[in-house]
Amino acid sequence: MSAELVRVAVDSERCIGGGQCEMLEPEIFLLDEDEVISSVIGSGALSRPRADVVVHRCPGAAVSIVEPQRPSE
Amino acid sequence: MSPSASTPTLAPEIADPRLYLDSIPHERFTQIRSMPGLAWHPYEDNGFWAVTRHADVRAVSRNPKVFSSAIGHTNLWDLEADALEARRSLIDTDAPDHTRLRRMVAGAFTPKNIRRWEEAVREITVELLDEFMVRGGGDWVDMVAAPLPIRVILSMLGVPVADADYLVELSNYLVEGTSDTQSLPPDAFGNTTELRLLPFNSPASHALFEYGDEMRSMRRAEPCDDLVTHLVKAEADGGRISRHEYRHLFHLLVFAGNETTRTAISHGAMALAAHPDQWQRVLDDPGLVEPATEEIIRWATPVLHMRRTAATDCELAGTAIAAGDKVVMWYASANRDEAAYADPFRFDVGRGDNEHFAFGGGGPHLCLGAFLARLEVSVLLQEMAARRMFLEQRGEPVRMASNFVHGVLSVEMAPGGKP
């Protein structure tokens, strides 16, 4: 099975600007220059294992995986 | 302690600073890690829960609502309420104050903005290493490990070069304040504040506050592109930061920017001298500078522990914790946890997936200067490699008797060539 892609999101209230996400995935996360809050840039799509690492390492527990909406049956 | 709790397992003594004079008492930590649940450690008239396993340290660090930094103190001993307020800094706050204050300075320490300092760090490193080689070595702490980080943080703050020596002196007195020795009289530097109201009980804290205030006035009159100007603007701009908060942030940045990376560089040099085979690997493969940097920081663990205080009754590792109990995260132990690392007592510059807790246990109090520390250590390794420097340690280091910082006061090194 190919690596499953998931979308990630940042809770701006919880973000402490620790920069772990930007260190781990600079293509996906960017810290705002003024407010020092991380946000998702581009598609925000990551392989699930990589997304899990960012979630695990975020010091403010601000990064989460947005679970895909399953089509209604 | 909860009165309903059954008699807890007692931890062997790990708080006595004298135990740390020769090395971290790792055998005792290994013993505590193998005990079921959390072990209770008597301390002064009460005690603390000794959190020693990697997973448990993480659980405490990442649950700040339950394990508070703002209650009691973040060191082992409690402070009286007025002293706690007078001494409160970013370290002793919880959200939302912590988040607000942290964001005030976090911008300067993001990976991208820290990279801008690389050339400045390299310039200082080259100067120090060249002098070290010309003089045929000497005290590594005095010649390299101490001056490198303090010069960098002072540059970031915007402290004039002419005052650097004075701030180094103050900072050294603060380092001294983390141990039992205090060589300053209470009224040093014109201090009139009761020592118990000053960080590290040190009159040098008074002097550092005064200096920070002077810089604040200067930058108000004449803004520059530095961290102090940034903070002064935040204070003026709708009072996003109070005067107390400014003073303590300035103090924290000077102290933490000096003491911790100094320790990493001191232990790092000793580790490289003791393991020339590991250093050879870095020389052969520059790609190993990054993992070697992480390994040196894990190996050194400059801050040995931080304390939290339970805000509510809770449970950790199957042990009941009562509101008000002290919960102490021993990073020094977590970084040698056999459940988290293969062969944790081996110094391995190629260690992968090195999620060490030398910058804290993974929660919101993550070391603000983590990327700066990494930059300083990695540039140092690169420049040592460029000089094919094989450090030779001459004699035993002089270590601090402290259960809080893994301090090295001096260690003689020579810049040997390949053995």
- On whether residue B215 sits in a domain, the answer given is yes
Q: Six-digit token pair at B180?
A: 């039992």
CA distance B326 to B260: 24
CA distance B54 to B332: 10
CA distance B244 to B265: 32
Of B102, B111, B370, which is closest to A16 when you measure between CB atoms? Answer: B102
Whether B102 and A31 lie within 8 Å, measured CB to CB: no
Nearest CA in chain B to A19: B110
Residue A28 sits in a domain of what CATH number? 3.30.70.20
CA distance B277 to B349: 10
- On whether residue A52 sits in a domain, the answer given is yes
Q: What is the pLDDT of residue B241?
A: 87
- Residue A41 domain boundaries: 5-66
In angstroms, the separation between the Cα of residue A71 and the nearest Cα of chain B is 35
Q: DSSP letter string over A2-49? A: PPPEEEEEE-TTT-----HHHHH-TTTEEE-TTT--EEE-TT-EEEHH
Contact residues, chain B, for A27 at CB < 8 Å: none
Whether A61 and B371 lie within 8 Å, measured CB to CB: no
- Note whether B407 contacts A: Cβ–Cβ < 8 A: no
Of A16, A23, A26, which is closest to B99 when you measure between CB atoms? Answer: A16
Q: What is the pLDDT of residue B6?
A: 65
Strand ranges, E, within B295-388: 305-310, 314-316, 319-321, 326-330
Contact residues, chain B, for A52 at CB < 8 Å: none
Residue A69 has pLDDT above 80, yes or no: no
Nearest CA in chain B to A56: B362
Instruction: Please choose, from the candidates B142, B158, B176, the residue with its C-alpha nearest in 3D space to the C-alpha of residue B266.
Output: B142
Residue type at B347 in one-letter notation: F
Of B110, B365, B370, which is closest to A22 when you measure between CB atoms? Answer: B110
- B320: which strand partners? B315
Nearest CA in chain B to A34: B107
Whether A59 and B371 lie within 8 Å, measured CB to CB: no
Q: For B253-266, how does the pLDDT look when each residue is reduced to its tens digit (9 = 90+)?
A: 999 988 899 999 99
In angstroms, the separation between the Cα of residue B18 and the nearest Cα of chain A is 33
Whether B366 and A61 lie within 8 Å, measured CB to CB: no
Q: What is the pLDDT of residue B164?
A: 82
Of B111, B362, B371, which is closest to A59 when you measure between CB atoms? Answer: B362
Nearest CA in chain A to B64: A60
Contact B209, B170 (CB under 8 A): no
Contact residues, chain B, for A23 at CB < 8 Å: 111, 371
- On whether residue A17 sits in a domain, the answer given is yes
Phi and psi, residue A8, nearest 5°: -115, 155
Q: What is the pLDDT of residue B191?
A: 96
Nearest CA in chain A to B361: A59
End-to-end Cα, chain B, rounded Å? 56
DSSP 3-state assignment of B241? Answer: coil
- On whether residue A40 sits in a domain, the answer given is yes
Query: How many Cβ pairs within 8 Å bridge chains A and B?
Result: 53
- On whether residue A60 sits in a domain, the answer given is yes
Q: What is the pLDDT of residue B3?
A: 43
User: What single-letter DSSP state applies at residue B413?
Assistant: E
Phi-psi map region of B94: left, alpha, beta (phi>0 left; psi -120 to 50 alpha) = beta
Whether A17 and B112 lie within 8 Å, measured CB to CB: no
Q: Which residues contact B236 (CB under 8 A, 6 or more apart)?
A: B220
- Residue B187 domain boundaries: 17-416
Q: What is the pLDDT of residue B375?
A: 98
- On whether residue A73 sits in a domain, the answer given is no
Residues of chain A in Cβ contact (below 8 Å) with chain B = 14, 16-20, 22-23, 26, 31, 33-37, 57, 59-61
- Note whether B115 contacts A: Cβ–Cβ < 8 A: no
In angstroms, the separation between the Cα of residue A54 and the nearest Cα of chain B is 12
Share of chain B above pLDDT 70, in %: 97
Nearest CA in chain B to A14: B99
- Note whether B347 contacts A: Cβ–Cβ < 8 A: no
Q: What is the pLDDT of residue B8?
A: 86
Q: What's the Cα-to-Cα distance from B153 to each of B164, B376, B389, rounded to whole Å?
A: 10, 11, 26
Total domains present in chain B: 1
In angstroms, the separation between the Cα of residue B203 and the nearest Cα of chain A is 32
The ipTM is 0.88
Residue B186 sits in a domain of what CATH number? 1.10.630.10
- On whether residue A72 sits in a domain, the answer given is no
- On whether residue A71 sits in a domain, the answer given is no
Total domains present in chain A: 1
- On whether residue B12 sits in a domain, the answer given is no
Per-chain mean pLDDT for chain A: 88
- On whether residue B4 sits in a domain, the answer given is no
Q: What is the pLDDT of residue B262?
A: 95
Nearest CA in chain B to A21: B111
Of A16, A19, A60, which is closest to B111 when you measure between CB atoms? Answer: A19
- The residue ranges of chain B whose pLDDT is under 50 are 2-4
Q: For B36-71, how does the pLDDT look when each residue is reduced to its tens digit (9 = 90+)?
A: 999 999 999 899 999 999 999 999 999 999 999 999
- On whether residue B3 sits in a domain, the answer given is no
